[in-house]
């Protein structure tokens, strides 16, 4: 069937299956078997089915858009490379599933934007999620029963006892998968933002899974708050997009006849007129008009009629655009969206949350905080690529570069096995951003995929080690190779993959391909703009550091003498349900970079390449000389071959150094630590970032809030209290008046009438004859009175 | 002594009525026997009746009226009926009173004393 019909159906189903699983577990989770164990089956079944649907979608895509032409291009000589973009870009399938509301030109809809990148992301996310769902069944086993958590203490110092949360774990995993897939399939930037937040809240729930531990709840809060900082920027970006373009939709909105009724974001910035491709993005009309408000007001004031007014504005638009009107608004839109990506992808300076997020269960760290969610920022940068002006790309590149260096250096000294991996993740995300910013669109996203596989593998491996030893600290491990061969072997594959191991120019693990592509692109950038050369040097040095800290981790964990015999004796290989996913992921980590016939990941991604990324990017207003070279030029052997050898040499150096220190122990790491104690301290304390933020943000906020709390307690509470006291006094006075005067009057009248009544009852003698006498005497008296006064009253007129 | 010299008229009737009324009142006020009191009441009522009949005399009526001129007599008849009814009730009370106190001396009854 036509992809435009079947793809939205397949991917929509794959997207909604985890939601169904989430709903089921929310409603009946605790009743699904003993300890909620069937919740695991439900969630795993849903995600496995989603994975199958995604694979079907990929198959369908490949049938209709074979990647043949892309694969050919790579083999040809430089003459061909310089002439045209390597592969034909395939038009995306975009549309709306459901229109929520429309306000004027603004359409809020649940839509889809499906291209090769979307399909590939679906396959990657669902595949890794399936592996992790299976793995979690073993890892989270103890949550099936009542749990005694030694790391969380109650007020009297006892370990916290609580019910198992097995079903809750799977519930959030399902919600996460739903949100992540929604983010990937989203057809407009607003929907991306909504799922972006949903993903964030899942991350919050799962980091705080062991909520009784103070460190876990703090880490969850930290992750959430730091992400809010990024999201603030993202909202600014969204506002800029909306005011400037009047739409949130990525693709064009078409009516039933297939005619464009409203241009999407991408075709506004890269108009059809120029075949969608220009060195710098075109500033949309709306943004130009925003910037030229003054001139427009003048025209409106002087124009004789509305029609003339519109015509004059339209005539002046190109001139204004050349003058750079509205360009800054476009830059702000780009920077704002990127700001959100900085928060989610843990880029400098918002990288601090990710290492702390390791408080969550390890499968979560693997799925969310390494393989998929943190890659969402990278994905969005890739997706939003046409909108980014050259200046924004440069900012992205430098942010990535700084992040990659800082995180890599911190990873060298970390002793917590998961933290090493966390910093390694931050560093690799920095690589991706750097590559995207330097024009290496396919390279950056390719690394996203390969990284997802080997980082999920490494995290699951570390989870297996933690499961076996019961500790995160590498100094207490060592020599575990004999105890857990499967874990050790698969983690070795992961380490080799992340280091980019391979035989230069022949074959290698997945990291070899993706990392070489990225660094080649940086080399290309260095040649074109020597000013930005150190982006290349840092990235190349990063390759050496990456290898060093990864093998340090591996050696410390698996090789050498056991440093803690108790831990060593306790250790055992994990159950099959845990190491089978490891093997599967190890295979993927090894081969996902390679090609099968003409099919390979980069060639598939090539189909989704935004048109501008296929050409040179430049012509920004701020740095007109900046030229970001087209990516296909970096496949030129003149660039690629030396880069391959340089990175291979540097990675080997890192490996040799790690082996010297931790493998064969020919040098003593303690010695090095003493020699460079200053630097060691600096790195060990993570460049003092946490302390800096504590000083710069947390303390002032705490100070101000304590101040306002004091004001509240003393000023406002005092006022309210005195008001209350005053009211009490007034009412007691009022009460006194009421009691004495008002009650006195009423009681007096009552007492008086009672007295009269008592007196009058004496008349009621009960004696009949006396009554007759009264009547007679009364009658006579009446007559006497009437006869006496008759004259006065009536007689004399 | 004008009354004795003039022909019998309304005034004479009124005198007789007044005498009857006063006799009745005195009888009511002095008799301790309950039946005596009832008789006094009968005298008072009949004194009043006499007054009604006397005032109904055509001599006190304005000329030229086309009324039947029997108002006083009819009210007197009503009073007689009323007196009969009253006597029936009062005699029943007297019977009950006797049942309770074995006497009809009204001075013995002061249960309604305030």
Q: Which of residues 7-26 of B touch A (CB under 8 A)?
A: 25
- Give CA–CA dist A309/A300, Å, rounded: 6
Comparing CB atoms, the residue among B28, B32, B114 nearest residue A764 is: B114
Q: Cβ A765–B30 below 8 Å, yes or no?
A: no
Chosen for mutation from A757, A761, A768 (greatest number of chain B CBs closer than 10 Å) is A768
Lowest mean pLDDT among A17-21, A164-168, A634-638: A634-638
Residue with tokens 């006195």: A744
Q: Hey, what's the torsion of the CAs at A216, A221, A222, A226, to 10 degrees?
A: 150
What is the pLDDT at residue A130?
Answer: 93
Lowest mean pLDDT among A4-18, A124-138, A600-614, A775-789: A600-614
For chain B, the structural domain boundaries read 8-106
Q: Cβ A766–B110 below 8 Å, yes or no?
A: yes
What is the pLDDT at residue A317?
Answer: 81
Does residue A760 sit at the B interface (CB-CB below 8 Å)? yes
Structural contact between residues A246 and A261, judged by C-beta atoms closer than 8 angstroms: no
- Cα→Cα distances A695→A216, A230, A348, A688, A699, Å: 22, 20, 18, 10, 5
Q: Cβ A760–B114 below 8 Å, yes or no?
A: yes
Phi and psi based region of residue A597 (left: phi greater than 0; alpha: psi -120 to 50; beta: remaining) = left
Structural contact between residues A231 and A343, judged by C-beta atoms closer than 8 angstroms: yes
Q: Cβ A769–B110 below 8 Å, yes or no?
A: no
Q: Cβ A763–B114 below 8 Å, yes or no?
A: yes
pLDDT of A444-500, one tens digit each?
Answer: 999 999 999 999 999 999 988 888 888 888 878 877 888 888 888 999 999 999 888
pLDDT band of residue A81 (cuts 50, 70, 90) is: very low
3-state secondary structure chain B: CHHHHCCCCHHHHHHHHHHHHHHHHHHHHHCCEHHHHHHHHHHHHHHHHHHHHHHCCHHHCCCCCCCCCCHHHHHHHHHHHHHHHHHHHHHHHHHHHHHHHCCCEHHHCCCCCC
Q: Cβ A769–B111 below 8 Å, yes or no?
A: no
The alpha carbon of residue A764 is apart from the nearest alpha carbon of chain B, in Å, by 5
How many CA atoms, within 13 angstroms, populate the side-chain half-sphere of residue A242?
16
Residue A26 corresponds to which tokens in the numbers above? 């929310």
Of residues A485 and A90, the one with the higher pLDDT is A485
Q: Cβ A776–B30 below 8 Å, yes or no?
A: no
What is the pLDDT at residue A76?
Answer: 38
Residue A28 corresponds to which tokens in the numbers above? 């009946």
pLDDT of A119-173, one tens digit each?
Answer: 999 999 999 999 999 998 888 888 887 888 777 777 777 888 888 888 888 999 9
Does residue A678 sit at the B interface (CB-CB below 8 Å)? no
Of residues A261 and A131, the one with the higher pLDDT is A131
**A374 has pLDDT over 50:** yes
Q: Cβ B114–A767 below 8 Å, yes or no?
A: no
E strand or H helix that includes residue A106: strand A106-114
The proportion of chain A whose per-residue pLDDT surpasses 70, expressed as a percent, equals 94
What is the pLDDT at residue A245?
Answer: 84
Q: Where are the alpha helices (DSSP H) in A107-213?
A: 116-139, 166-185, 189-207
- Give CA–CA dist B57/A470, Å, rounded: 133
**Maximum C-alpha span of chain A:** 149
E strand or H helix that includes residue A486: helix A485-499
**A797 has pLDDT over 70:** no
**A80 has pLDDT over 80:** no
pLDDT of B3-52, one tens digit each?
Answer: 788 888 888 899 999 999 999 989 988 888 889 999 999 999 999 999 99
Can the peptide bond before residue A365 be classed as cis, meaning omega within 30 degrees of 0?
A: no
Does residue A758 sit at the B interface (CB-CB below 8 Å)? no
Residue A600 phi/psi, 5° resolution?
Answer: -150, 160
What is the pLDDT at residue A276?
Answer: 55
E strand or H helix that includes residue A235: helix A214-245
pLDDT band of residue A792 (cuts 50, 70, 90) is: low
What is the pLDDT at residue A279?
Answer: 64
pLDDT of A496-555, one tens digit each?
Answer: 998 888 777 778 888 888 888 888 888 888 888 888 888 888 988 998 999 999 998 888
Structural contact between residues A762 and B114, judged by C-beta atoms closer than 8 angstroms: yes
Q: Cβ A769–B113 below 8 Å, yes or no?
A: no
**A74 has pLDDT over 60:** no
pLDDT band of residue A67 (cuts 50, 70, 90) is: confident
Q: How far is CA A733 from the centre of its chain?
A: 62
Query: Residue range A235-247: average pLDDT?
Result: 87
Q: Which of residues 23-42 of B touch A (CB under 8 A)?
A: 25, 28-32, 37
Angle, helices B34-55/B71-101, rounded to nearest 10 degrees: 180
Query: Residue range A673-688: average pLDDT?
Result: 80
What is the pLDDT at residue A252?
Answer: 82
E strand or H helix that includes residue A463: helix A441-469
- Cα→Cα distances A611→A58, A383, A465, A607, A614, Å: 22, 12, 45, 10, 5
E strand or H helix that includes residue A421: helix A417-437
Cβ-proximal residues to A43 (8 Å cutoff; 6+ apart), any chain: A18, A21, A22, A25, A133, A170, A171, A173, A174
Comparing CB atoms, the residue among B29, B112, B114 nearest residue A769 is: B29
pLDDT of A741-789, one tens digit each?
Answer: 999 999 999 999 999 999 988 888 888 888 888 888 998 899 899 888 8
Cβ-proximal residues to A339 (8 Å cutoff; 6+ apart), any chain: A230, A232, A233, A234, A236, A237
**A78 has pLDDT over 50:** no
Query: Residue range A423-438: average pLDDT?
Result: 91
Residue A598, SS3? coil
Query: Residue range A190-217: average pLDDT?
Result: 89
How many CA atoms, within 13 angstroms, populate the side-chain half-sphere of residue A442?
32
Comparing CB atoms, the residue among A761, A767, A772 nearest residue B110 is: A767
The alpha carbon of residue A770 is apart from the nearest alpha carbon of chain B, in Å, by 7
Residues in chain B closer than 8 A to A776 (CB atoms): 25, 29
Measured from the Cβ of residue A405, the count of other Cβ atoms closer than 10 Å reads 19
pLDDT band of residue A236 (cuts 50, 70, 90) is: very high
Q: Cβ A766–B106 below 8 Å, yes or no?
A: no
Query: Residue range A406-433: average pLDDT?
Result: 90
What is the pLDDT at residue A603?
Answer: 82
Query: Residue range A242-250: average pLDDT?
Result: 84
Mean pLDDT (chain A, rounded): 84
Q: Cβ B109–A768 below 8 Å, yes or no?
A: yes
As a CATH number, domain B8-106 is: 1.10.287.3510
E strand or H helix that includes residue A499: helix A485-499
Which residue of B lies nearest to A776 if distances are taken between CA atoms?
Answer: B25
Q: How many residue pairs from chains A and B have C-beta atoms closer than 8 A? A: 40
Comparing CB atoms, the residue among A760, A765, A773 nearest residue B113 is: A765
Residue with tokens 């800290």: A549
- Residue A595, burial from CB neighbour count under 10 angstroms (0-12, 13-18, 19+): middle
Residue A280 phi/psi, 5° resolution?
Answer: -115, 150
Residue A414, SS3? coil
Q: Cβ A768–B30 below 8 Å, yes or no?
A: no
Cβ-proximal residues to A459 (8 Å cutoff; 6+ apart), any chain: A362, A363, A365, A366, A370, A371, A418, A421
What is the pLDDT at residue A55?
Answer: 92
Query: Residue range A262-274: average pLDDT?
Result: 77
The alpha carbon of residue B33 is apart from the nearest alpha carbon of chain A, in Å, by 10
**A624 has pLDDT over 60:** yes
Does residue A769 sit at the B interface (CB-CB below 8 Å)? yes
- Give CA–CA dist A149/A356, Å, rounded: 19
Q: Where are the beta strands (DSSP E) in A409-466?
A: none
What is the pLDDT at residue A77?
Answer: 37
Does residue A765 sit at the B interface (CB-CB below 8 Å)? yes
């Amino acid at each position: 069937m036509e992809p435009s019909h079947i793809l939205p159906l397949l991917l929509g189903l794959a997207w909604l299956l985890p939601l169904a699983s989430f709903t089921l577990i929310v409603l009946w989770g605790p009743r699904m078997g003993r300890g909620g164990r069937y919740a695991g089956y439900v969630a795993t079944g849903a995600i496995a089915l989603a994975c199958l649907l995604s694979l079907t979608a990929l198959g369908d895509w490949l049938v209709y858009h074979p990647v043949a032409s892309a694969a050919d291009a790579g083999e040809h000589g430089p003459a061909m490379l310089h002439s045209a973009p390597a592969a034909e870009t395939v038009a995306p399938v975009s549309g709306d599933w459901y229109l929520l509301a429309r306000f004027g030109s603004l359409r809020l809809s649940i839509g889809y934007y499906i291209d090769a990148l979307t399909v590939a992301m679906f396959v990657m996310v669902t595949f890794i999620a399936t592996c992790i769902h299976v793995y979690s069944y073993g890892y989270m086993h103890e949550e099936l029963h009542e749990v005694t958590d030694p790391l969380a203490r109650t007020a009297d110092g006892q370990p916290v006892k609580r019910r198992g949360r097995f079903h809750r774990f799977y519930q959030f995993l399902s919600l996460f998968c739903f949100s992540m897939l929604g983010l990937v399939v989203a057809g407009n930037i607003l929907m991306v933002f909504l799922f972006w937040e949903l993903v964030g809240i899942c991350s919050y729930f799962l980091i705080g899974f062991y909520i009784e531990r103070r460190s876990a709840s703090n880490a969850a809060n930290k992750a959430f708050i730091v992400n809010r900082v990024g999201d603030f920027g993202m909202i600014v970006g969204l506002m800029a997009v909306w005011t400037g373009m009047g739409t949130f939709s990525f693709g064009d909105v078409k009516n039933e006849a297939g005619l464009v009724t409203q241009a999407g974001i991408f075709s506004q910035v890269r108009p059809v007129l120029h075949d969608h491709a220009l060195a710098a993005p075109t500033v949309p009309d709306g943004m130009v008009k925003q910037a030229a408000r003054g001139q427009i007001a003048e025209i409106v004031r002087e124009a004789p009629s509305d029609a003339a007014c519109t015509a004059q504005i339209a005539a002046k638009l190109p001139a204004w655009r050349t003058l750079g009107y509205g360009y800054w608004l476009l830059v702000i839109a780009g920077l704002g969206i990127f700001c959100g990506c900085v928060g989610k992808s843990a880029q400098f300076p918002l990288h601090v949350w990710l290492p702390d997020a390791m408080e969550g269960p390890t499968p979560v760290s693997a799925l969310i905080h390494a393989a998929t969610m943190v890659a969402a920022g990278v994905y969005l940068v890739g997706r939003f690529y046409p909108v980014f002006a050259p200046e924004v790309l440069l900012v992205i590149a430098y942010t990535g570069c700084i992040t990659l260096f800082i995180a890599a250096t911190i990873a060298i000294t970390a002793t917590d096995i998961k933290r090493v991996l966390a910093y390694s993740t931050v560093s690799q995300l920095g690589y991706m951003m750097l590559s995207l910013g330097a024009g290496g669109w396919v390279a950056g996203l390719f690394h996203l995929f390969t990284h997802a596989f080997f980082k999920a593998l490494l995290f699951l491996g570390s989870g297996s080690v933690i499961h076996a030893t019961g500790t995160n600290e590498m100094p207490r491990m060592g020599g575990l190779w004999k105890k857990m061969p499967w874990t050790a072997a698969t983690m070795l594959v992961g380490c080799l993959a992340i280091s980019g191991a391979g035989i230069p120019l022949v074959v290698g693990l997945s990291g070899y391909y993706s990392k070489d592509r990225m660094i080649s692109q940086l080399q290309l950038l260095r040649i074109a703009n020597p000013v930005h050369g150190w982006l290349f040097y840092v990235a190349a040095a990063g390759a050496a550091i990456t290898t060093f800290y990864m093998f340090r981790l591996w050696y410390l964990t698996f090789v050498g003498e056991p440093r803690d015999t108790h831990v060593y004796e306790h250790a055992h290989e994990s159950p099959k349900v845990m190491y089978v996913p490891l093997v599967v992921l190890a295979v993927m980590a090894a081969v996902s970079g390679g090609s099968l016939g003409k099919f390979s990941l980069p060639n598939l991604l090539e189909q989704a390449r935004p048109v501008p990324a296929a050409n040179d990017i430049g012509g920004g207003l701020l740095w007109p000389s900046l030229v970001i070279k087209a990516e296909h030029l970096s496949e030129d052997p003149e660039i690629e071959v030396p880069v391959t050898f340089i990175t291979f040499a540097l990675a080997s150096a890192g490996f040799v150094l790690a082996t010297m220190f931790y493998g064969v122990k020919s040098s003593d790491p303690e010695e090095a630590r003493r020699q460079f104690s200053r630097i060691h301290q600096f790195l060990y304390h993570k460049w003092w970032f946490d302390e800096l933020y504590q000083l710069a943000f947390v303390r002032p906020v705490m100070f101000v809030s304590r101040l306002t709390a004091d004001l509240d307690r003393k000023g406002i509470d005092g006022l309210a209290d005195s008001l209350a006291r005053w009211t009490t006094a007034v009412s007691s006075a009022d009460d006194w008046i009421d009691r004495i005067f008002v009650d006195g009057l009423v009681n007096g009248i009552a007492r008086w009438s009672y007295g009269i009544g008592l007196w009058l009852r004496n008349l009621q003698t009960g004696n009949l004859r006396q009554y007759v006498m009264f009547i007679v005497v009364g009658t006579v008296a009446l007559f006497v009175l009437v006869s006496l006064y008759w004259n006065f009253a009536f007689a004399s007129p | 002594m004008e009354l004795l010299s003039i022909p019998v008229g309304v005034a004479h009737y009124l005198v007789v009525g007044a005498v009857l009324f006063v006799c009745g009142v005195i009888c009511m006020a002095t008799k301790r026997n309950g039946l005596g009191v009832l008789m006094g009441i009968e005298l008072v009522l009949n004194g009043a009746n006499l007054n009604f009949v006397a005032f109904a005399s055509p001599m006190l009526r304005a000329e030229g009226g086309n009324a039947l001129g029997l108002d006083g007599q009819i009210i007197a008849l009503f009073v007689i009926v009323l007196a009969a009814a009253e006597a029936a009730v009062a005699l029943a009370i007297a019977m009950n009173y006797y049942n309770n106190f074995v006497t009809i001396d009204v001075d013995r009854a002061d249960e309604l004393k305030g």
